[in-house]
Amino acid sequence: MRIVIAEDNVLLREGLVLLLTGDGHEVAAVAGSGPEVLPALLEHRPDVAVLDVRLPPGFRDEGLRAAIAAREALPGLPILVLSQYVEETYAAELLAGGAGGVGYLLKDRVSRVGEFLDALRRVAAGGTALDPEVVSQLMTSRHDPLQALTPREREVLALMAQGLDNATIAASLVITERSVSKHIGGVFTKLGLPPADGGHRRVLAVLAYLNGYLNG
């Protein structure tokens, strides 16, 4: 994959470069400040971008703003956002476009190399990769449409939001894959996602819930 990195912390930025190139990927460009991000993305059109939420000069939401602008200019551009803390508003805004290929991880996850690389691949493939802490806080603050879901369906949806497949969800909850499929079917039905949406329903279910935009 061709990747653009935006991170102002030199040690973390160089660590990401080494990690990604060591895994066989190409780092097309690196950026250390907010104004550098969008031009780099438009020039290199990477397979996925890894962006820090807070970048110079303001250290507020420069990375997020660049991500949103890039997805407007390059629809479907996969974006994996890194943040020091769970910033619920930023996570929700990134997801508000209603499309896949988005991820939001806490920076601590980068040290878990296997998990980080798996998340990056899921995002690049058009899926989602949300940090469990992000999912937990979004679930706490967004009660609709959770009202219609059973506690088990909520657990399954939370693990779906992390990008886990049915087998991993089954192992995590100590239930059968058949039960997982049944619960996912219930989630799809209650979120108003018809069979016509095919395999994309998995991403739509996560985004519909997290965005709170059920059925428009």
Burial (CB count within 10 angstroms: exposed 0-12, middle 13-18, buried 19+), residue 37:
buried
**Nearest-angstrom CA–CA distance, 99 and 204:** 8
Q: Would you state the structure tokens that stand for residue 12, as one six-digit string?
A: 């973390």
- The model's pTM is 0.69
Q: Which CATH fold would you assign to the domain 142-211?
A: Arc Repressor Mutant, subunit A (1.10.10)
The type of residue at 132 is P
- Residues 6+ positions from 112 with CB-CB distance below 8 Å: none
CATH number of 2-133: 3.40.50.2300
> What tens-digit pLDDT sequence spans the chain (216 residues)?
999 999 999 999 999 999 999 999 999 999 999 999 999 999 999 999 999 988 999 888 888 888 888 888 888 899 999 988 776 666 666 766 656 788 889 988 888 999 899 999 999 998 888 888 777 766 665 545 667 788 899 889 888 888 888 999 999 999 999 999 999 988 888 877 766 555 567 776 776 666 653 344
Q: Where are the domains of the chain?
A: 2-133, 142-211
For residues 44 and 75, what is the distance between their CA atoms, to the nearest angstrom?
A: 15
